[in-house]
Amino acid sequence: MAQLLDGKAVSKILKEEIREEIATWKEKGVQPKLAVILVGDDPASVVYARSKQKVCEGIGMAFELFTMPSSTPEAEILATIEKLNNDQNVHGIMIELPLPKGIRKETVMAAVRPDKDVDGVHPINRGYILSGEEGLFPATPQSCIELLLRSGVEIAGKHVVIVGRGETVGKPLVFLILKHNATVTICHSKTPDLGAFTRQADILIAAVGRAKLIKKEMVKAGAIVVDAGINEIPGGICGDVDFEAVQDVAALISPVPGGVGSLTTALIMRNVLKGIVLQGGVR
C-alpha cells in the first residue's frame, strides 16, 4: 500500500515560510500585494478569487479584487491591467479564467507585466522556462516538483514520465523538472500503447484531464505517482489516476483532492514575493 504525498501538510509548511518572508519584507517597508481581476460571474472563478483573498489575509499579504461585469470591453480590462502594471504597490497580477466570450485571452494575459505575471503564462516567462533563466512560472508544475522534493523524493537521475502536454502543466513541467536532472518522457493523447511508457516511470506524473486514465497495470511496482489532474465526476472530483487501484502498487501517490492542488495557491503567493525581487526589490 502506497504512502500518501500529503499536499495539505506541505502547503502548511509553505504558507508558514511565506508568512515569515512577508514579515521580513514589511520590516523593509514593503507590503507585498496581489491584485486579482475577475471579469464576469463564473461561479468557480468567484470561489477561487475569494479563496486567494482568504489565504492572503492569513499570511499577511495585501489583496485587492477588481470585479467587472461580463459586458466590460476588452479595452477597459487592458486599461486596468496597465494601471496595475504601473502601480509600484502591486507586486503580482492575476486574471481569473475563463474570460467572457469576445475577450481575447491571449491578449489579456500578455498585457500583464512579466515580472508581475504570477500565473507564469506571459510569453516572456514561457521563454525563461526554456532558457533556464529566472522568471515567474506556473503554480501547478511547481506544485508537482515541490510535493516531491518536500516529501524527500530524489528527482535527479530518475526516469520521469509525464502524461499530458498542456500549456499550463505538461509543457512547462518538462523543462522545470529537467532542471532537477531527471530523464523525461512526455506522452499525450496520440501516444500509442500509453502503458508501455508509463510502466517505465520511476516517477509518473499525470496531467491530462481524463478521469482515472492511469490504471494499476500501467504503473511499475514501487513507482512514485503524482496526480495533477482534476475532473468532475458524479459525487465529487477525482484525478487522472485510478487512486484506489494504483495505491496497491505505487510506493508514493498523491490524492485528489489533498495533493498537488493543495499547494497551488501558496505557490502563487510565493510568485508574488519572487516578483518583488524581479521588480528591483532587494532581499
Assess whether 145 and 248 both reside in one domain.
yes
Task: Specify if 110 maps to a domain.
Answer: yes
Q: Are 66 and 35 in contact (CB under 8 A)?
A: yes
Cβ neighbours of residue 137 under 8 Å, at least 6 residues apart? 120, 125, 128, 129, 172, 176, 271
Q: What is the mean pLDDT of residues 128-132?
A: 92
Given a cut of 80, whether residue 282 has pLDDT beyond it is: no
* Total-model pTM: 0.94
Task: Specify if 273 maps to a domain.
Answer: yes
Given a cut of 80, whether residue 183 has pLDDT beyond it is: yes
Given a cut of 70, whether residue 131 has pLDDT beyond it is: yes
Cβ neighbours of residue 256 under 8 Å, at least 6 residues apart? 227, 229, 230, 237, 238, 239, 241, 243
The grid coordinates of residue 3 equal: 504512502
What is the percentage of the chain residues whose pLDDT exceeds 70?
99
**Confidence band, pLDDT 50/70/90 cuts, at residue 171:** very high
Q: What is the pLDDT of residues 230-256, one digit of tens each?
A: 999 998 999 999 999 999 999 999 999
pLDDT score recorded for residue 254 = 98
**Could you give the CA distance from residue 110 to residue 104 in angstroms, rounded to a whole number?**
10
Q: What is the pLDDT of residues 86-102, one digit of tens each?
A: 999 999 999 999 999 99
Assess whether 132 and 267 both reside in one domain.
yes
Domains contained in the chain, number: 2
* 120 is annotated as contributing to ligand binding: no
Task: Specify if 10 maps to a domain.
Answer: no
Assess whether 118 and 208 both reside in one domain.
no
Q: Which residues pair with 205 in a beta bridge?
A: 162, 226
Task: Specify if 18 maps to a domain.
Answer: no
Assess whether 151 and 256 both reside in one domain.
yes
pLDDT score recorded for residue 2 = 92
Assess whether 143 and 258 both reside in one domain.
yes
Q: What is the mean pLDDT of residues 72-80?
A: 97
**Confidence band, pLDDT 50/70/90 cuts, at residue 283:** low
Task: Specify if 16 maps to a domain.
Answer: no
Q: Are 240 and 233 in contact (CB under 8 A)?
A: no
CA distances from 134 to 37, 121, 157 (A): 25, 14, 23
* 40 is annotated as contributing to ligand binding: no
Assess whether 205 and 255 both reside in one domain.
yes
What are the phi and psi torsion angles at 83 (to 5°)? -60, -45
Assess whether 56 and 100 both reside in one domain.
yes
CA distances from 141 to 69, 91, 102, 124, 260 (A): 31, 21, 29, 17, 9
Residue 268, classed as helix, strand or coil, is helix
pLDDT score recorded for residue 210 = 95
Torsion of CA 187, 210, 173, 42, to 10 degrees: 150
* 165 is annotated as contributing to ligand binding: yes
Q: What is the mean pLDDT of residues 10-36?
A: 97
Assess whether 123 and 197 both reside in one domain.
no
Assess whether 210 and 196 both reside in one domain.
yes
Read off the CATH number of the domain in which 105 is found.
Answer: 3.40.50.10860
Grid coordinates 508514493 are at which residue?
Answer: 252
The grid coordinates of residue 76 equal: 477597459
Q: What is the pLDDT of residues 30-75, one digit of tens each?
A: 999 999 999 998 888 999 999 999 999 999 999 999 999 999 999 9
In the chain, % helix, strand, coil (3-state, to 5) comes to 40, 15, 40
Task: Specify if 181 maps to a domain.
Answer: yes
pLDDT score recorded for residue 132 = 87
Amino acid at 4: L
Task: Specify if 1 maps to a domain.
Answer: no
* 19 is annotated as contributing to ligand binding: no
Assess whether 199 and 274 both reside in one domain.
no
Cβ neighbours of residue 82 under 8 Å, at least 6 residues apart? 111
Assess whether 48 and 89 both reside in one domain.
yes
Assess whether 223 and 183 both reside in one domain.
yes
Q: What is the mean pLDDT of residues 173-189?
A: 96
pLDDT score recorded for residue 281 = 75
Read off the CATH number of the domain in which 157 is found.
Answer: 3.40.50.720
Task: Specify if 114 maps to a domain.
Answer: yes
Domain that includes residue 77, residue range: 28-137+263-278
